[in-house]
């Protein structure tokens, strides 16, 4: 099942983050693309700095060149980027995982990425690559793409999906059960009550996405008509 994953990393984890040392107030946005080793992230928007300021700071970044494609003034400048062949880190993890970049925005504090993967296994492989490279990613959203369309703002959180997945894998839903709430809570490192709440909210959001309800009480309202 296609999966949406959103995560953040520190501002200096992505190669162009080096620009923030000279231009701390800029915002960088990558154009949506399926990155490959031959074509990493060819188009980049930079807002909050003139082309001259960017050119002066580019020597500190991992991009070999940034060429102005279009200057829209206050709306930003579109650049074509040519990357150094030895670029690694989060870039290599994304490229090697065969995922689609939906959006990526960087500031001096952090980068926020949204990726689409063909299945949850691809997401797991990406996270494992990041761990092996020593890259800490903070996953803020992990959700089947089918639910994104139905409940874009109120879908499963990463914590809810983790709890549901763990419960399924450990046999919590089996008959008879092979794991208890206490077992699952201990593995996650939270209280039994918190784990039960995550499972309950996760179930509710899954059902809301399945039946197309935007709010938990919408089912009751719909039943009265």
Q: Contact at 8 Å (CB) between 9 and 112?
A: no
HSE-CB of 130 using CA atoms within 13 angstroms: 20
Of 120, 146, 172, the last residue of a domain is 146
In a domain, residue 83? The reply is yes
CA dihedral 84, 89, 95, 99 (to 10 degrees): -150
Residues 53 and 130 in one domain: yes
pLDDT, tens digit, 9 for 90 and up, residues 136-195: 999 888 877 665 544 444 456 767 877 888 898 888 998 899 999 999 998 888 899 999
pLDDT, tens digit, 9 for 90 and up, residues 47-92: 999 998 888 887 655 556 788 999 988 788 999 887 765 667 888 8
Distance CA(123)–CA(22), nearest Å, equals 34
Number of domains present in the structure of the chain: 2
In a domain, residue 222? The reply is no
Residues 188 and 121 in one domain: no
Q: What is the pTM of this model?
A: 0.61
Residues 139 and 178 in one domain: no
Residues 15 and 111 in one domain: yes
Residues 198 and 95 in one domain: no
Range of the domain at 100: 3-146
DSSP string, 57-122: HGGGSSEEEEEEEEE-GGG-EEEEEEE-TT--THHHHHHHTT-EEEEEEE-SSEEEEEEEESSHHH
Neighbours of 112 (CB within 10 A): 16
């Amino acid at each position: 099942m296609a999966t949406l994953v959103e995560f953040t990393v520190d501002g200096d984890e992505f190669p162009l983050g080096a620009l923030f040392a000279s231009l701390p107030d800029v915002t960088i946005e990558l154009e949506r693309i399926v990155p490959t080793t031959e074509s990493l992230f060819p188009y980049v928007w930079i807002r909050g700095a003139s082309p001259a300021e960017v050119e002066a700071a580019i020597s500190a970044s991992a991009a070999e060149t940034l060429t102005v494609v279009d200057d829209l003034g206050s709306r930003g400048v579109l650049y074509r980027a040519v990357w150094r062949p030895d670029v690694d880190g989060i870039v290599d993890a994304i490229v090697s995982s065969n995922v689609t970049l939906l959006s990526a925005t960087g500031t001096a504090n952090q980068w926020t990425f949204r990726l689409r993967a063909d299945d949850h296994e691809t997401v797991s492989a990406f996270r494992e690559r990041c761990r092996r490279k020593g890259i800490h990613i903070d996953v803020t959203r992990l959700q089947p793409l089918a639910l994104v369309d139905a409940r874009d703002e109120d879908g499963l959180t990463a914590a809810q999906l983790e709890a549901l997945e763990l419960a399924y894998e450990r046999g919590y839903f089996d008959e008879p059960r092979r794991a208890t709430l206490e077992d699952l809570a201990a593995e996650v490192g939270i209280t039994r009550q918190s784990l039960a709440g995550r499972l309950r909210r996760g179930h509710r959001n899954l059902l809301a996405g399945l039946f197309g309800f935007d709010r938990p009480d919408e089912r009751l309202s719909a039943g009265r008509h």
